[in-house]
């Protein structure tokens, strides 16, 4: 088995494994709300607050998943509901997924980046809206 030697080779290797291109929003903050299976969000929490343990920032999105950050990491394998608020859309896109990676360095302070793979959309319209929106000009290829 060939093991990539440099960061560039590793990045190229990871890109080749992706089933769909990833896109990063060109402008602004892309809010994401992540709710682990079996957890009820606090109805009294301020939904606009960045202090919510399940609210964070989306870094890039594809038709198959999302890379995002939350204040506290979730465990790999956790099933989650995802509410994605993208620039240029009036309504959020809702999916179900599973946490497939946690980017957690020892001693790393601050928000934790994670990746989720989408398993299903709340409805077919959300899948279609995401497909259309990724080609809308609000996004650039992954940075």
* pTM for the structure as a whole: 0.70
- Which is it for strands 23-25 and 139-141: parallel, antiparallel or unpaired? antiparallel
Over residues 35-42, the mean pLDDT reads 78
Q: pLDDT > 90: what percent of the chain?
A: 37
89: pLDDT confidence band, cut at 50, 70 and 90?
confident
Q: Is 64 helix (H, G, I), strand (E, B) or coil?
A: coil
Residue ranges of alpha helices (H) inside 3-76 are 7-17
Q: Is the dihedral of CA 71, 44, 29, 117 positive or negative?
A: positive
pLDDT, greater one: 136 or 45 = 136
22-141 has which fold? Thrombin, subunit H (2.40.10)
User: What is the reported pLDDT for 21?
Assistant: 59
Q: Where are the domains of the chain?
A: 22-141
User: What is the reported pLDDT for 28?
Assistant: 61
User: What is the reported pLDDT for 33?
Assistant: 93
102: pLDDT confidence band, cut at 50, 70 and 90?
very high
User: What is the reported pLDDT for 2?
Assistant: 42
């Amino acid at each position: 088995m060939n093991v990539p030697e440099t960061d560039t080779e590793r990045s190229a290797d990871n890109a080749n494994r992706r089933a769909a291109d990833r896109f990063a929003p060109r402008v602004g903050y892309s809010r994401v709300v992540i709710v682990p299976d079996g957890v009820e969000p606090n109805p009294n929490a301020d939904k606009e607050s960045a202090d919510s343990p399940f609210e964070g920032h989306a870094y890039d999105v594809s038709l198959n998943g999302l890379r995002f950050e939350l204040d506290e990491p979730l465990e790999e394998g956790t099933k989650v509901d995802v509410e994605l608020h993208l620039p240029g859309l009036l309504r959020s896109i809702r999916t179900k997924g599973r946490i497939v990676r946690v980017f957690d360095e020892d001693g790393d302070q601050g928000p934790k980046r994670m990746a989720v793979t989408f398993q299903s959309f709340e409805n077919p319209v959300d899948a279609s809206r995401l497909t259309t929106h990724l080609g809308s000009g609000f996004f650039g290829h992954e940075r």
